[in-house]
A and B are shown apart, each in its own frame.
Chain A
Amino acid sequence: MLRKVVIRNYRLFRDFTLEFTPGMNILVGDNDTGKSTVIEAVNLVLTGRVQNRLLAQDLSPYLFNLDITHEYIQTLRDGQGPEPPDMIVDLYLEQSAATAHLKGRNNSTDEDTHGLRFRAAYNPDFALEYAAFIAEPDNIRVIPAEYYRCEWLGFDGNAVTARSVPVTASVIDAAAIRLQSGADYYLQGIIGNNLTPAERVELTRTYRSLREEFAGNPSITEINNKLKATPGDVSERELSLGIDISQRASWESSLVPHLDDLPFTFVGKGEQSSLKILLALNRRVDDAHVILVEEPENHLSFTRMNVLIAKILKKCENRQVLVTTHSSYVLNKLGLKQLVLLTETGGLRLSGLTPGTQDYFRKLAGYDTLRLILAQRAILVEGPSDELIVQRAYRDVHGVLPIHDGVDVISVGLSFRRFLELAVPLRRRTAVVTDNDGDDPADVAAGYADFTAHDFISVHVGAAGGGNTLEPQLLAANSRQALNEIFGTSYATDEDLVKYMTNNKTTCALAIFESETTITMPGYIRDAIA
């Protein structure tokens, strides 16, 4: 099982540490926060491969972190001699009999523990070439990866091979289905991994004898005899036909999985990706096997995704899974508690969510929790009319709609507390805009005291004199005449106007949102958007 990954100078990550929990780990983040990079890095250190190619043979300078690349080049141009930067992925593993040989202190934290390290570092054998390379710093654009060598070691400092790595990983990236001859690379891997060693030996043996039988088949023998009798035009040696039984031609390259008698590659992409996920999940539980799933929502219809998520949940009880997702649905279903919000240097977890809140989001699986998680700042309101008014208020003050500034206005009904519970561990700047509903605003605010103790959370309640809800509050802040103008109405009393507004909440809010007239916003809304 994986305990922790430390990534240095790889892609987006300059110095990144992420601890894993047993079971499900759901990686969430905006585009370009490195969700896929984490999966890629874990897979790299377990297989030596990136996108199915051995990195040691294919090290690209573009895999190096951009900041470190710029810094390195700048230092060179400043006339100094910086050490060419290393790229490191350290994967810390749980102690077990299978990982015992990987124990040592060759890791970034100097812990005496079990793990694997992939490192690309400058190779001093290229000293002459490198000297020529740095002689003209102005022409340098990238890190000279061609003078690097890759090492794949255990924390014991000894080289490892794909065979000696005790943890296997299935990467399931439904979006990228690559095909080789026969079964595709990781489908092969998944099938191979599903079999016990004894079954694998049996499969290999049967396949081998099948090929050998081919040569013994009477009709083939006859053909071969005929060929032997043919006088050699090119060579004096005997010519005969047989099947390649070299290592290259093992069962993996010839056997193709079939779904309902249809070769796997002819099955729809959605089916392929769910099958791959399920094959990976079906592995034996006792194995040190990690499943890396990239965006399971890809290629899947909503119903099929629902089925798949239910299966993932059921099958993953005793194993470690890393999932990246863009989908609030997937996130809510799999459980917010397992969420890891990626940052530049690590991950943020929603530890300490109450079971009630977890359950709430799981039931409201369609709810857009990711909006709160990914926003830089959130304003929580009760309903769509409040949302429109707040948007307008924000634009009046800041000149742009809130979403421009990464501020998300989210209507959450009466579930403010559920969302605030999410906001606390995220330390997300959050404002609540709420009615006083006839209560003393101070009392209403006091109800959120446990949240407002955090300086990043504020609660804004309609003032006492301004009415119970948004509509009278708006009227209190503006004249009846002004509002009548905006709505195209002509109510003679405040009472009638409020009644109209309350019965046509959204229409009125939309009219205000679109109106060219200057509108005075109630004080509590102005505070919230400040």
Chain B
Amino acid sequence: MPSPRQLAVIAAAGSRKTEFIITEALAHPYKRVLLTTYTLNNLACIRERIYRKARHIPAHITITSWYSFLSRHWCRPYQRTVLGTPGVLRGIDFQSDLPRFIPESDARRYFCNRAGDLYKDRVADFAVKADAAAGGAAVRRLEELYDEVYIDEVQDLAYYDLDVLDSLLHSGIHVVVVGDPRQHTYATNQNSRNRQYRGARIVGWLGQRTDVCTIEHRTVSYRCNQAICDFADALYPDLPTTTSANLEIVEPTGILRLSRADLQAHVVAFGPAVLRHNARTDTLGLPAINFGASKGSTFEHVVIFPTTPIRTYLRTRDPSGLAAEARSKLYVAVTRARHSAAFVI
């Protein structure tokens, strides 16, 4: 049996998965390559790393956000199959709430606002419908445009996005997806389709497609030391454990508890990044980054302001007490650190 053409890399935090796709993309200058990911933060991160490695973005590489990819290559070219007329679609509406009481049969108003911008939560739905109604023309068009498509943070894709991914995996394009099911902090949209596969379950979804897609686990973290890896692994006992390749010892090291009284001295001494749940978290006046937004970054040391569920977890060490999203965010926060993660108690 020929080995599957497509590749999914499921990797732990700090295992250089983004680095992997950037290296691959740069290594194939004679291929037409598309790099995409869901969050703009990560997109900027990819762009910056390519500049750092190659000094410019080579002409064979296109970098685009997932939304823009859907809108540009799936929705607009075959919009008339869904809307009946060409040239209606403009941008994407990230602000408005979905309209109520509009049946799907009224496609013009179901999918877009008055100006012709697609509602963000219906972009992927539209993409899937347009391609299906055009008899797979969108996929064929992409096959003419790109030889390779790389998707970073694949665990952020959900619902209809997965149908798009499914079409890509079965196309003639070489597709490489990388992600960490533990770092699912955003969902691209709020539909009910494929609900069972959101977040951590992406591994199960990919597991059903091993005929076209090889799944590779990377369990070495080049970032976090072993103590941090162990703490993070404990949050997901079902997934393979992580080995640290960071053998440097820099004090302080490992998972720490920090009293509010010691916080100031710690910050002055070690210059950690301060991570919080959201802007409402009281960080005692320290400038901080939200858990979700910190994804993709690396810091020497971090200080984490725990939420109530996290405090409970620190006591009980029972991951089933943490909701999926809270667990992801804790995982992301703690694995930002190379040497130490300190919880403010």
Seen from chain A, the residues whose Cβ lies within 8 Å of a Cβ on chain B are 100-101, 103-107, 110, 112, 117, 119, 121, 124-125, 151, 153, 155-158
Contact = CB atoms under 8 A, between A and B. Distances in A.
A112 B79 contact: no
Contacts of A104: 76-78, 141
Contacts of B193: none
Interface string B175-202: 0000000000000000000000000000
A157 B87 contact: yes
A116 to B, nearest CB: 12
Main secondary structure of the interface of A (DSSP, over half): mixed
A151 B87 CA distance: 9
Given A112-B134, A124-B114, A156 B80 contact: no
Contacts of B75: 157
6 contacts: A106-B76, A107-B86, A155-B77, A156-B141, A157-B79, A157-B89
B145 interface: yes
A158 B73 CA distance: 9
A117 B144 contact: no
Contacts of B72: 156, 158
B141 A105 contact: no
B112 to A, nearest CB: 13
A105 B134 contact: yes
Contact of A156 (B77, B81, B114, B115): B77
B137 interface: yes
Contacts, number: 53
B223 to A, nearest CB: 37
B78 A105 contact: yes
A100 B87 contact: no
Contact of B87 (A103, A106, A112, A124): A106
Interface in B226-260: none
Q: Rank and list the top 9 A-B pairs by shortest CB-CB distance, nearest first.
A: A104-B77, A157-B76, A106-B86, A156-B77, A100-B144, A100-B145, A103-B141, A106-B87, A112-B137
Nearest to B146: A100
A285 B19 CA distance: 41
Contact of B76 (A110, A125, A156): A156
B87 A105 contact: no
Given A112-B137, A119-B87, A151-B87, A103 B79 contact: no
Nearest to B62: A101
A445 B177 CA distance: 79
A103 B75 CA distance: 12
B312 to A, nearest CB: 49
A158 B76 contact: yes
Contacts of B134: 105, 112
B79 A100 contact: no
A157 B114 contact: no
A121 B145 CA distance: 30
B207 to A, nearest CB: 34
Interface string B76-114: 111111000011010000000000000000000000001
Contacts of A119: 87
Contacts of A124: 114
A121 B78 CA distance: 20
Nearest to A110: B80
A103 B80 contact: no
Given A153-B87, A158-B72, A106 B80 contact: yes
Nearest to A102: B77
A112 B72 CA distance: 16
Contacts of A125: 115
B263 to A, nearest CB: 48
Nearest to B86: A106
Nearest to B138: A104
A11 to B, nearest CB: 21
Given A100-B144, A105-B134, A157-B89, 9 more contacts: A104-B76, A105-B86, A106-B80, A124-B114, A125-B115, A156-B72, A157-B87, A158-B72, A158-B77
Contacts of B76: 104, 106, 156-158
A156 B87 CA distance: 9
A334 B76 CA distance: 42
Interface string B141-184: 10011000000000000000000000000000000000000000
